[in-house]
Chain A
Amino acid sequence: MIEFQAVTKQYPDGTIAVRELDLTIEAGKITVFVGPSGCGKTTSLRMINRMIDASSGHILIDGADIMRSDPPVLRRGIGYVIQHAGLFPHRTVLDNVATVPVLTGVGRRAARARAAELLEIVGLPAGLARRYPAQLSGGQQQRVGVARALAADPPVLLMDEPFSAVDPIVREGLQEELLRLQADLAKTIVFVTHDIDEAIKLGDKVAVMRTGGVLAQFDEPAALLGRPSDDFVASFVGRDRGYRALGFLAATGLTLGELSLVELGGTVADARKALVGGWAVAVDEQRHAIGWLSSARLDTVDGAATVTPDLLISGGSLYQVDSDVGTTAGSLRNALDAALSSPAALGIAVDATGAVIGSVTADDVVRALAKARTAGEVPT
């Protein structure tokens, strides 16, 4: 647990970066500091490992005031991941990861063995160990950065905009990876970002800070979307927050409808008979959806012809049922998006293997939402 007690950082020129910050960061959870530039989020993070010292107030880690510890020793017990990874270009990937254990006096051989394990944990092939950072992609470098921060098995991990310099697709992969790692490791993670979507996706709790270093709201992501404390938070959380809040509601109250399935290779006449409301889903042998069949399209070809892929209309997003809330799969948001993005106005529901198990409509989602509201599951 990390406690900020009335922490203020004022620079000699009078600028106040952080003002009277009171905050308790729970152990084993991800706490995200988010806000516009100049809001003091990075300063707050760096005060935890004394890269910056507070002007007044106290920061306690597990009850001990950090000002009583020797900064280098304190830092070796706190993992740190920085934007652009900050890897040492003159050291191999393996030696980069082994850095902190070597600093703390672990033998080089043992440190490297540990480093090799960590590369595996963060999902990097062992073949990269002997390479230099310049030979890795941005996403791989950032994974090495995470492995390096974890090498000495610190209970606390500070992450300073670690994924902001990689492209959106790689970033999403890294975020998923972090959540997966965290499910195993349960570190106390403090994560800084300016991206509210990233904050909401990763944070168990999110601290929204405003310019001038003032804490605007400290809450769980669903609460942040559901009841922002003031106009600043509401505008920072952004548009579509009602829609995005659906991402935190499990689609448990949702009943799936029927869906007509057709395999490729049959005749068009048979396919026409199978249509329900003018639509059917084409599936492969594993019941994975490969597209939609519509009466409008099938009517343009002869009934004796075979159903081939060129007759298919591409579908929308899939609603995956067996998944934990937290990522959007399995949530009302996911179900609604599947319904809205489908050409047939019917969302395709799939199980964890990707096999089609039913359909969902936008009306179903709205009804499920009403049910959740009555049950008091929607924050108001």
Chain B
Amino acid sequence: MIAWLNDHWDLVFSLSGQHLYLALVPVVIGFVLAVPLGWLATRSGALRATIFYVFGFIYSIPSLALLVVLPVLLGTQILDPINLMAALTIYTVALLVRSVVDALSSVPWEVRTAATAMGFRPLRRFFSVELPMSIPVLVAGLRVAAVSSISLVSVGALLGVGGLGNLFNDGFHRNFIGEIVIGVVASLILALVTDAVLVLIGRLSTPWTRVG
């Protein structure tokens, strides 16, 4: 296994890079989509119920099934990495929409009222008061979404775009357990590092949560 690794460092690194790209670009896009959707969901009870229902349903679709259906819906090739990234984006949105709603609802009534009474327009109030105050809850949601996205990328290997998942595939075909272990360990390291980076970003952007 060590010998194999020594011969294949380049491969492991390039697959790791690809893995991160495939996993995290959807998290970023999903986050950008989840914020306005979550905001919409806080506007009315009916909207909230609909959004929760739709994304709850989507999240329950098995990933492999979604990967097979998406090319039909998107008109892409079955092996196009866009399919995988679109699926991961949808999962991210489904996970984060709830976090966004929880975070926005947790802004105290008197803070929101005071902001309005001081003359904030709704959009500015959202970006300067409600969103920053939501960071702790949002980061918690992002951590779950990022780690689950990193683990899901491997499924893409079955369609030829799985980052480190390719090592699992290859290991199975060649009946070489070492390659699989290396794939698992590398993807675990990616998840841990990503999680640590998110925790750090969360801490740096919320100094007020560690006082008092």
- A residues near B, CB below 8 A? 49, 51, 72-76, 78, 80, 82-91, 99-100, 103-104, 131-135, 145, 148, 158
26 contacts between A and B (CB under 8 A): A49-B117, A72-B119, A72-B121, A75-B116, A75-B118, A76-B119, A80-B117, A82-B114, A82-B117, A83-B110, A84-B108, A84-B110, A86-B115, A88-B111, A88-B114, A88-B129, A89-B111, A89-B208, A90-B135, A99-B118, A103-B118, A132-B208, A132-B212, A134-B211, A134-B212, A158-B117
CB-CB under 8 A from B207, the residues of chain A are 132
Residue of A whose beta carbon sits closest to that of B111: A86
Chain B contact residues: over half helix, strand or loop, or mixed? helix
Q: Report which of A82, A99, A145 forms a contact with B113, defined as CB distance below 8 A.
A: A82
Known contacts being A84-B110, A89-B111, is A134 close to B117, with CB within 8 Å? no
Complex CA gap A109/B129 in Å reads 20
Complex CA gap A2/B120 in Å reads 23
B17 close to chain A: CB less than 8 A: no
B132 close to chain A: CB less than 8 A: yes
Residue of A whose beta carbon sits closest to that of B117: A80
Residue of B whose beta carbon sits closest to that of A76: B119
B14 close to chain A: CB less than 8 A: no
CB-CB under 8 A from A100, the residues of chain B are 118-119
Interface residues of B in 177-212 (CB under 8 A from A): 206-208, 211-212
Q: Report which of B110, B119, B135, B211 forms a contact with A86, defined as CB distance below 8 A.
A: B110
CB-CB under 8 A from A87, the residues of chain B are 111, 114
CB–CB A103/B120 < 8 A: yes
CB–CB B212/A76 < 8 A: no
B94 close to chain A: CB less than 8 A: no
CB–CB A51/B129 < 8 A: no
Whole-angstrom distance between the Cβ of B107 and the nearest chain A Cβ: 9
CB–CB B110/A75 < 8 A: no
Interface centre among A78, A100, A103, A135 (most CB of B within 10 A): A103
Known: A84-B108, A132-B211; 9 extra A-B contacts, CB below 8 A, are A80-B117, A80-B118, A84-B110, A86-B113, A87-B114, A89-B111, A99-B118, A134-B211, A135-B212
Complex CA gap A76/B206 in Å reads 27
Q: Report which of B110, B124, B206, B212 forms a contact with A82, defined as CB distance below 8 A.
A: B110
CB-CB under 8 A from A131, the residues of chain B are 211
Residue of A whose beta carbon sits closest to that of B121: A72
Complex CA gap A86/B118 in Å reads 11
Complex CA gap A113/B136 in Å reads 30
CB-CB under 8 A from A134, the residues of chain B are 208, 211-212
CB-CB under 8 A from B206, the residues of chain A are 90
Chain A contact residues: over half helix, strand or loop, or mixed? mixed
CB-CB under 8 A from B212, the residues of chain A are 132, 134-135
Q: Report which of B108, B118, B133, B211 forms a contact with A76, defined as CB distance below 8 A.
A: B118
Interface residues of B in 137-151 (CB under 8 A from A): none
Residue of A whose beta carbon sits closest to that of B129: A88
Interface centre among B116, B117, B132, B135 (most CB of A within 10 A): B117
Complex CA gap A134/B133 in Å reads 13
Known contacts being A88-B129, A90-B208, A131-B211, is A103 close to B110, with CB within 8 Å? no
Known contacts being A82-B110, A86-B108, is A51 close to B116, with CB within 8 Å? yes
CB–CB B115/A88 < 8 A: yes
Complex CA gap A303/B212 in Å reads 58
Complex CA gap A49/B119 in Å reads 9
CB-CB under 8 A from B114, the residues of chain A are 80, 82, 85-88, 145
Interface centre among A49, A74, A104 (most CB of B within 10 A): A49
CB-CB under 8 A from B208, the residues of chain A are 89-91, 132-134
CB-CB under 8 A from B111, the residues of chain A are 86-89
CB-CB under 8 A from A82, the residues of chain B are 110, 113-114, 117
Interface centre among A76, A86, A132 (most CB of B within 10 A): A86
CB–CB A90/B119 < 8 A: no
Whole-angstrom distance between the Cβ of A161 and the nearest chain B Cβ: 11
Complex CA gap A87/B117 in Å reads 12
Whole-angstrom distance between the Cβ of A139 and the nearest chain B Cβ: 15
Complex CA gap A267/B110 in Å reads 63
CB-CB under 8 A from A49, the residues of chain B are 117
CB-CB under 8 A from A158, the residues of chain B are 117
Known contacts being A82-B110, A131-B211, A134-B208, is A90 close to B133, with CB within 8 Å? yes
Whole-angstrom distance between the Cβ of B34 and the nearest chain A Cβ: 20
CB–CB B119/A73 < 8 A: yes
Complex CA gap A83/B117 in Å reads 13
CB–CB A89/B110 < 8 A: no
CB–CB B118/A51 < 8 A: no
Complex CA gap A134/B111 in Å reads 13
CB-CB under 8 A from A85, the residues of chain B are 110, 114
Complex CA gap A89/B207 in Å reads 10
Complex CA gap A131/B211 in Å reads 9
Residue of A whose beta carbon sits closest to that of B125: A72
Interface centre among A74, A78, A99 (most CB of B within 10 A): A99
Whole-angstrom distance between the Cβ of B20 and the nearest chain A Cβ: 30
CB-CB under 8 A from A76, the residues of chain B are 118-119
Complex CA gap A85/B117 in Å reads 12
Complex CA gap A225/B110 in Å reads 33
Complex CA gap A212/B18 in Å reads 67
Whole-angstrom distance between the Cβ of B190 and the nearest chain A Cβ: 31
